C-alpha cells in the first residue's frame, strides 16, 4: 500500500459503518489512488483556469468597450489578487455605462444652474430627430434655397431689362 492510516490492521466490527465487498476492495487498492490523484489535479487546474477567466473579466470588458480607463481596470484586476475589494471596483468601472453617468451629472448641474426645484424640471433625454423631421427640415431648406435662387434670377432679369431700357432710351436721344 502507498500509505496506511493505522499501523496495524483493525479487527472486524471496529468501525461503526465498515465498508463491505467491492467498496472495501476499492478503498484498499493503491491503483485507485494513482487514478484519482491526476484526476484531482486536472480538476484543480481547470477550476483555477475558470477562476482566472472570471478574475480577468473586467479587463476584457474594458478592452471590448474601448474604455479610456482600460489601463486602470487592468491594474485594478491585478491588485484585486491581493485586495479583493479592488477587483470589485474594477468590475464596477468596466460594466458602468459612463455616457449615462455623464448625462446624469449634466442634468444635475443644469438643475443647479437654473435654480429651479428638482420637481419642476422633468427628466428629459436629449432630443433626437426622427427621419421625418430630418426630411422636413431638408425640404424646407431646399424650398428656401429655390426661393432665393428665383429671387436672384428675377433681380438679375430686372437689372438686365432696366439696362436694356436705358440703352434704348439713350440711343433714341442720340438719334
Cell (9 digits) for 115:
435654480
- Among residues 106, 124, 142, the one where a domain terminates is 124
DSSP secondary structure of 10-54: PPTT-STT---HHHHHHHH-HHHHHHHHHHHHHHHHHHHHHHHHH
59 φ/ψ angles, rounded to the nearest 5 degrees: -65, -45
- The mean predicted confidence, pLDDT, of the chain is 75
| Residue 68 resides in a domain | yes
Same domain, 116 and 72: yes
| Residue 140 resides in a domain | no
Which residues are CB-neighbours of 119 under 8 A, at least 6 positions away? Answer: none
Same domain, 40 and 90: no
| Residue 21 resides in a domain | yes
Same domain, 96 and 63: yes
Same domain, 61 and 115: yes
Same domain, 93 and 120: yes
What's the CA dihedral at 67, 69, 71, 72 to 10 degrees? -150
Mean pLDDT value across residues 128-140: 63
Residue 123 · residue 106 · CB < 8 Å? no
At residue 63, the pLDDT reads: 86
What's the number of domains the chain is made of?
A: 2
Residue 122 · residue 110 · CB < 8 Å? no
Between 12-16, 37-41, 84-88, 95-99, the lowest mean confidence (pLDDT) is in 12-16
d(CA 76, CA 131): 44
| Residue 129 resides in a domain | no
Same domain, 62 and 20: no
Q: State yes or no: pLDDT of 53 exceeds 70.
A: yes
27: domain range? 15-55
Same domain, 50 and 65: no
| Residue 111 resides in a domain | yes
d(CA 56, CA 65): 15
- Global confidence as pTM: 0.45
| Residue 51 resides in a domain | yes
At residue 1, the pLDDT reads: 47
Tally of CB atoms within 10 A around 59: 21
Same domain, 24 and 69: no
Same domain, 107 and 51: no
| Residue 24 resides in a domain | yes
Same domain, 24 and 45: yes
Same domain, 61 and 116: yes
Amino acid at each position: 500500500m502507498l500509505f496506511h492510516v493505522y499501523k496495524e490492521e483493525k479487527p472486524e466490527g471496529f468501525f461503526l459503518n465498515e465498508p463491505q465487498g467491492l467498496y472495501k476492495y476499492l478503498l484498499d487498492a493503491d491503483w485507485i489512488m494513482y487514478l484519482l490523484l491526476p484526476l484531482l489535479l486536472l480538476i484543480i487546474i481547470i477550476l483555477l483556469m475558470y477562476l482566472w477567466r472570471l478574475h480577468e473579466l473586467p479587463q476584457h470588458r474594458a478592452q471590448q468597450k474601448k474604455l479610456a480607463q482600460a489601463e486602470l481596470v487592468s491594474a485594478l484586476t491585478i491588485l484585486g489578487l491581493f485586495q479583493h475589494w479592488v477587483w470589485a471596483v474594477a468590475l464596477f468601472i468596466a460594466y458602468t455605462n459612463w455616457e449615462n453617468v455623464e448625462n446624469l451629472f449634466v442634468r444635475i448641474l443644469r438643475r443647479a444652474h437654473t435654480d429651479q426645484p428638482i420637481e419642476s424640471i422633468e427628466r428629459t433625454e436629449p432630443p433626437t430627430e426622427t427621419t421625418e423631421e430630418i426630411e422636413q427640415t431638408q425640404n424646407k431648406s431646399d424650398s428656401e434655397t429655390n426661393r432665393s435662387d428665383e429671387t436672384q434670377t428675377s433681380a438679375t432679369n430686372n437689372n438686365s431689362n432696366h439696362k436694356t431700357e436705358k440703352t434704348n432710351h439713350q440711343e433714341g436721344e442720340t438719334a
